[in-house]
Amino acid sequence: MRALIALGGNAMTDAAGRARPGDQIAAIATAMDRVAEVVASGVEVVLTHGNGPQVGNLLVKNELAASVVPPVPLDWCGAQTQATIGFIVLDALEAALSRRGVPRQACAVITRTLVDGSDPGFTQPTKPIGRYLPQAEAEVLIGHGQTWQDRGEKGWRRVVASPEPLQILDARAIATLVSAGFIVVANGGGGIPVVREPDGGLRGVEAVIDKDLGAALLARVVDADVLVIATDVPAAMVGYGTSAARALERVSRTELAGYAAAGAFGAGSMGPKVAAALRFLDSGGAMAVISSLDQIAVAVRGQAGTVVLPDPGPADLDRGPTAHPDPMA
């Protein structure tokens, strides 16, 4: 069995969300201990991760230094965080595997993801990133070509494009390394967004790719059987914030899609994770799971979290509504 495990931002920060170097190293060590448990059980693992807190730190450095040095472009921020997180993950994962007597080597791939250069977000960006600033500080960054919007009493906030991930350009390298037996860390933060120029060349762009949708795309590239989206909650919920709130356990693709269509999941939180799970199943995946990080060893086998299975076929329907086979059996 091959699993693509997508680690959310909570795997890279402490319990309070702080992303100081020591906090990140400690949090990633804990996460890799969980991943090593999965690897030791015989599951082939490919990893991807979020990078929101890390990019956020770089944006603050950009802002503080904008009057002295030009801000680092957002695609550079993505590349830097892929490398930094990848390096910490490799050290922590290999140490956790060594403690278990599992002789496996990991590697990280700086990964570019193709997006559509004509996406309307590039001319009318709407995705807010970073912190709020006073107008005077925002105007310095506007002078460097960034787009900032007045958000009233809170101040000004930067907005960028958030285009759909179309293609992982480094897919061949990733697949080759996976086939050679490496535990690969790839496509961090949804990938470094690039567009193709009229002459066929590539150019990095100021954009943010949704990491969960990027994970679904990577899972297809590596031919994963299972997509596990590790987050900071035990499962997806419907009726969140109401007295009727309940966690979803084992659901079909159609059932989950129905909840999504009814607006059950927040656009900036659970919504992208649900969308990624649905896309993975639509591309032929056997099972998608949304679960907390500390449960991934059992979640990868469909025994924790929100387990999403393909719609039952005619033979399953003949056996009754609860006859979902275990896709890992």
Identify whether the C-beta of residue 168 lies closer than 8 Å to the C-beta of residue 115. Answer: no
Among 25, 40, 4, residue whose Cα is nearest residue 90: 25
Paired sense of beta strands 306-309 and 250-252, if any: parallel
Tell me which residues are annotated as active site: 9-10, 127, 211, 273
Distance, CA of 307 to CA of 277 (rounded, Å):
9
Sole residue written with tokens 């293609």: 167
Buried b (16+ CB within 10 A) or exposed e, 156-182: bbbbbbbbebeebbbbebbbebbeeeb
Identify whether the C-beta of residue 151 lies closer than 8 Å to the C-beta of residue 40. Answer: no
Sole residue written with tokens 């949708």: 213
Among 43, 3, 92, 19, residue whose Cα is nearest residue 286: 3
The amino acid at 197:
E
Q: At what angle do helices 211-221 and 270-282 cross, to 10 degrees?
A: 20
Identify whether the C-beta of residue 128 lies closer than 8 Å to the C-beta of residue 158. Answer: yes
Identify whether the C-beta of residue 49 lies closer than 8 Å to the C-beta of residue 6. Answer: yes
Distance, CA of 159 to CA of 326 (rounded, Å):
43
The amino acid at 74:
L
3-class secondary structure per residue, 17-63:
CCCCHHHHHHHHHHHHHHHHHHHHCCCEEEEEECCHHHHHHHHHHHH
Contacts of 153 (CB under 8 A, 6+ apart): none
